[in-house]
Homo-oligomer: A and B are copies of this chain.
Amino acid sequence: MRSIRRPSTRRGSEVTELRIGLIGTGYMGRGHTAAFVGMPGIFGHQPARPALEIIADVNEDLASSAAAELGFKRWTADWRELVADPDVDVVAITTPNNVHRDMGIAAASAGKHVYCEKPLARNATEAREMAEAAEAAGVVTLVGFNYLKNPLQGYARDLIASGELGEIIHFRGRFDQDYLGDPEFPHTWRCDKSIAGSGIVADGASHAIAMVHYLVGDITEVCGRTRIVFGDRPVLSGGLGLRGSAAADAKRQKVETEDTAQFMFTLANGASGSIEVSRVATGRKWALDYEIHGTEGALQFFGEQRNELRLYRTRDPANEQGFKSILTGPSHPPYDRFQPVPGAGLGYADLKLIEVRELIEAIAEGRPAVPDFGFGWKVCRVADAVLRSAAERRWVAVDEID
């Protein structure tokens, strides 16, 4: 007779456990947690399994309730305790940009692997310091440019690297959203330069710059402009960030960071490019788009249809040339771990899960993760170059940035 048994292998010695210390209980904190928790269901417990150890938030109530809700063993209101805790292997940073530097350096210096949300820091100097600290400590780092984890981006990168598109001529990118399109939407921390570093350059442009670097290589010079479209906003009175609200009679607070930015750029291989980003792009919700022209092919990607990549090949017969809409499928790993047939679509949370998988695997294998702090620093340098170019109305070489 068969009976119900307890799994003998559970928490067995062969499964490495990586204990997570998470800083931040907001939208991104929850996103990280969901990814840590969901990972084994998709990828199994090998090579290591995340365990929710400590969660930190300056607000004690939030820390305490998040620990209960999300399943962390412990909580603290002091991130320095978390970073120092001997039972933490990985520190995940999901706070606003202004504290990334201190947290990242402290964590790396304490020998923890570090998983930090983007942008890596408020500016290139901070980012460099973080990358140097991690390098010195020999820990694994990863920056949360989760859109790079879309299986179609890996496929696109391979196509380009293999020369299937010929020589790259031009890269056109954008990341347009309208989350601050309403001038009555309250002032958030992203409007405050001392916290965010910059506005849409730190937020949207960092994703777009990361995409360029990931797909076609390093940007060497830029010429851009920025603009604050709505100069003040109602003071925030409730909620946080994009879930914030303001009282009807709220006073207004000055917006210090740019709403839109556009810039032209040159790639190391001599190709040209351009990026446009906005948080007031009326009607656009998630337009992290690109179009890449090569001498033998082209690619198009639209962030609002993120499960589709469009490929054009000049070698097709003349009467059969066109952009082909390729839906993510099992031949674009690791989609195969999610679904056996194409077209099911991965969501935002799935990309975050793939990102966490990369972190865990890199730690287990003792290799750098992609994209690491060094990559994050490069992105910050380009962002700083854009801001300087806009301020000085001239082309700026990325090498001018520290």
Residues on A lying within 8 angstroms of B by beta carbon are 2-10, 12, 27, 30, 33-34, 37-38, 40-42, 44-45, 54, 60, 64-65, 67-78, 81-82, 85, 155, 165, 169-170, 172, 177-179, 181-183, 223-225, 227, 229, 241-243, 260, 262, 264, 272, 274, 276, 278, 280-287, 293-298, 300, 303-308, 311-312, 314, 316-327, 329-332, 338-350, 393-395
Instruction: Evaluate contact between A319 and B329: CB separation under 8 angstroms.
Output: yes
Instruction: Evaluate contact between A40 and B2: CB separation under 8 angstroms.
Output: no
CA–CA, A341 to B241, complex, Å? 11
Given contacts A169-B282, A177-B341, 13 further A-B contacts (CB under 8 A): A4-B82, A6-B74, A37-B41, A169-B229, A169-B260, A223-B225, A283-B298, A317-B331, A344-B347, A346-B348, A349-B350, A393-B394, A393-B395
With a CB–CB cut-off of 8 A, which chain B residues contact A317?
Answer: 331
Nearest-CB distance from A81 to chain B (Å)? 5
Instruction: Evaluate contact between A286 and B345: CB separation under 8 angstroms.
Output: yes
CA–CA, A311 to B324, complex, Å? 8
Nearest-CB distance from A3 to chain B (Å)? 7
Nearest-CB distance from A287 to chain B (Å)? 8
CA–CA, A386 to B312, complex, Å? 30
| A-B residue pairs, 6 tightest by C-beta | A347-B347, A285-B343, A283-B312, A286-B343, A319-B331, A7-B67
A339-B348, A393-B395 known; A74 vs B283 contact (CB < 8 Å)? no
List the B residue with the shortest CB-CB distance to A55.
B7
With a CB–CB cut-off of 8 A, which chain B residues contact A339?
Answer: 27, 348
A6-B74, A7-B64, A177-B343 known; A324 vs B327 contact (CB < 8 Å)? no
With a CB–CB cut-off of 8 A, which chain B residues contact A286?
Answer: 327, 341-345
CA–CA, A209 to B73, complex, Å? 45
CA–CA, A73 to B8, complex, Å? 10
CA–CA, A73 to B7, complex, Å? 7
A4-B81, A64-B8, A319-B332 known; A71 vs B40 contact (CB < 8 Å)? yes
Instruction: Evaluate contact between B306 and A345: CB separation under 8 angstroms.
Output: yes
Instruction: Evaluate contact between A64 and B347: CB separation under 8 angstroms.
Output: no
CA–CA, A272 to B78, complex, Å? 44
Instruction: Evaluate contact between A293 and B276: CB separation under 8 angstroms.
Output: no
Nearest-CB distance from A190 to chain B (Å)? 13
Instruction: Evaluate contact between B27 and A34: CB separation under 8 angstroms.
Output: no
Instruction: Evaluate contact between B272 and A260: CB separation under 8 angstroms.
Output: yes
With a CB–CB cut-off of 8 A, which chain B residues contact A69?
Answer: 40-41, 44-45
Nearest-CB distance from A256 to chain B (Å)? 19
Instruction: Evaluate contact between A73 and B6: CB separation under 8 angstroms.
Output: yes
CA–CA, A350 to B347, complex, Å? 7
Instruction: Evaluate contact between A338 and B349: CB separation under 8 angstroms.
Output: yes
List the B residue with the shortest CB-CB distance to A309.
B322
With a CB–CB cut-off of 8 A, which chain B residues contact A85?
Answer: 4
Instruction: Evaluate contact between A77 and B2: CB separation under 8 angstroms.
Output: yes
CA–CA, A321 to B324, complex, Å? 8
A4-B54, A4-B76, A260-B169 known; A33 vs B41 contact (CB < 8 Å)? yes
List the B residue with the shortest CB-CB distance to A74.
B4
Instruction: Evaluate contact between B347 and A2: CB separation under 8 angstroms.
Output: no
Can you spell out 21 A-B residue pairs with CB atoms less than 8 angstroms apart?
A2-B81, A3-B78, A5-B64, A5-B76, A7-B72, A27-B340, A30-B41, A38-B38, A45-B69, A165-B282, A169-B260, A223-B225, A274-B274, A284-B343, A286-B344, A304-B308, A320-B326, A322-B324, A345-B347, A346-B348, A394-B394
